Amino acid sequence: MTSKPSPTPNGAGAGAGGGVRRWKRLWVATAAGLLLVLLAAAVSSRSLPAIPSYSRSGGCGCPGARKYTGLVEDCCCDYETVDAINEDVLYPILQQLVSLPFFRYFKVKLWCDCLFWPDDGVCALKDCSVCECPDNEFPEPFKKPYSGLSPQNMICQGGKPEATVDRTLDSKVFKGWVETDSPWTSDDETDNAKMNYVNLRLNPERYTGYTGDPARRIWDSIYKEKCIKYPSEDMCQEKKALYKLISGLHSSISVHIAYDYLLDKSTDLWGHNLPLLYDRVLKYPERVQNLYFTYLFVLRAVTKATDYLEQAEYNTGNPEEDLKTQSLVKQLLYNHKLRSTCPLPFDEAKLWQGENGPELKQEIQKQFRNISAIMNCVGCEKCLLWGKLQVLGLGTALKILFSVDRENNLNQQFHLQRNDAIALVNLLNKLSESVKFVHEKGPSAEEGIKQLRSSTVQKGAS
C-alpha cells in the first residue's frame, strides 16, 4: 500500500456535522468546508492517494469505466465478481435475514465501563440505557409497551434523540444456545445480569451527532495507542490483515453515516450525504479496498461455518418465520452462483505459518480483545450498540477462521452462541450494504466533487 492516510477523517464514531435544508443545498454547504482541500487537490494529484495495483479506468479509457478492477488485495475474488454477487445474491438474502425475529434482537452490555480513561459521563445517566431483562424473564415472551422517548431521554447524548436506543421489544421467544465467552472479545457474554436485549430494526446504524474529540479518541486508541499501528513494509501479513479489517469496518461505519444522514434538523429530513461519503471514504482508495477485503473476510467465515450454521436452531416461537430463517440461511450458504464464481473469498490457510505462528496468533488475539474493550468507552448509546455488535461479528469471524485443525476443519472445541451468529450475519449485512452503496453512488459522488473542483478552479482563475 502506497498511502497511509490518518484514520481520523474516515469518520470518528457514528455522527458528524449539522444538516442543511435541502439536498441540492447540501453540496453548497459542504463545499465551504472542503474548499481549500479541493482547490489543492485540483492542482496536485498527490492530494488523492493512489493504489497502483488497481486501474482507475477501463482498458479503453472510456468514461464510466470501473475505478476498481482486478483481484481484491490478499483475497481470491475480484471487484467485478464481488459487486455482481452482492447485488444479485448476498444483499437480497441478507436483507431478508436481518428482518426476521432471530437476527432482529441482539444482547449487549450498554453500561459504560471504560478501562482506558475516565468516564465522560455521556451515558452514565440511567435514562440513557435500555431496560435490562433478567434471566428469569428470558426466554419468556417480551411484552413492553412503547410510548415514545420521554423528555428525560432527550437529555442523553447532548439532547440528540437520534443517538438514543429505542427500548421497544415485541412479544418473541428465544430458545437459548450454549453460551461461552469468546477468546477474541472482552465482554462476558454469559453475564446475563448486565446484558440488555435490543431490537436492531428499531435502532438503525445512522448519523447520531456523536463527533469531536470523544469520538476521535475512540479511533485514535484503536489505531495507535492500545492496539495496532499503521501497516508498513516490514509488518507481518497477520498484522496487516488486522489493520485492514479495522480500516474496512471503519469505512463501513462511515458509509452508513453518509447513507442515513440528518440533512435538516428543523424538518427531521434524512437522506444521503454524498460529499461526506467522498470526504471520509472515497477520497482514500485504500479505504474502499479495505472495505471489500473485510467483506470477503467475513463472507469466508460465514461459508466456512456452513455445517454449524445449517444445523443451528433458529427458534423464536414463530414457526413460520423460523422456517423462513432456516431456508434463507441455506440459500446463503449453498448458493450456486456464489460457490461457482467466488468459492474461496479469502484463504486463511496462508496465515499463522512458521514456528512463531502460535505466539503471533495469541498476540493478535490480545490486540483484538483490546479493540473490543475500547468499545466500552463509546459515549453514544446507539454508536456503542453498533460498535459492539460489529466488533463481536468480526471477532466471531476471526474465531471461525482460526479455530482450525491441520486439515483446515473446525475443531471439536469450537462453539458459537446465539449472539455470535446474530452479530456475524448482521455484520455481513452491514458490509454488504456499504459495498452496494459505494458501488452505486461512488461515481456520482466523485463526479459531484469533480464538478465542484472545476468550478472552484475557474472562479480562482477569473
Q: Which residues touch 145 (CB under 8 Å, ≥6 apart)?
A: none
Flag whether 300 is marked binding: no
Q: Which residues touch 127 (CB under 8 Å, ≥6 apart)?
A: 150, 152, 153, 155, 156
The question of whether 380 is a catalytic residue gets the answer yes
**What is the DSSP track for 53-79?**
TS-SS-TT--TT--SS-SBPTTSSSBH
Flag whether 352 is marked binding: no
The x, y and z cell numbers of residue 370, run together, are 483490546
Sign of CA dihedral 352, 355, 358, 360: negative
Whole-number Cα distances in Å, 212 to 11, 17, 219, 259 = 10, 9, 11, 20
Flag whether 340 is marked binding: no
Instruction: Please tell me the distance from the alpha carbon of residue 186 to that of residue 176, in angstroms, as a whole number.
Output: 21
Place of cell 469468546: 182
Instruction: Please tell me the distance from the alpha carbon of residue 345 to that of residue 340, in angstroms, as a whole number.
Output: 11
> Is the Cβ–Cβ distance between 260 and 299 less than 8 Å?
no
The question of whether 77 is a catalytic residue gets the answer no
The x, y and z cell numbers of residue 258, run together, are 453518509
The torsion angles phi and psi of 48, rounded to 5 degrees, stand at -110, 105
Flag whether 462 is marked binding: no
Flag whether 208 is marked binding: yes
> Is the Cβ–Cβ distance between 166 and 199 less than 8 Å?
yes
Instruction: Please tell me the distance from the alpha carbon of residue 30 to that of residue 262, in angstroms, as a whole number.
Output: 14
Pairing of strands 269-271, 261-264: antiparallel
Instruction: Please tell me the distance from the alpha carbon of residue 152 to that of residue 398, in angstroms, as a whole number.
Output: 40
Q: Active-site residue among 77, 112, 227, 380? A: 380
The x, y and z cell numbers of residue 200, run together, are 436492531
Flag whether 219 is marked binding: yes
Which residues fall in the annotated binding site?
A: 206, 208, 219, 247, 250, 280
Which residues fall in the annotated binding site for FAD?
A: 206, 208, 219, 247, 250, 280
Catalytic positions, written as ranges: 380, 383
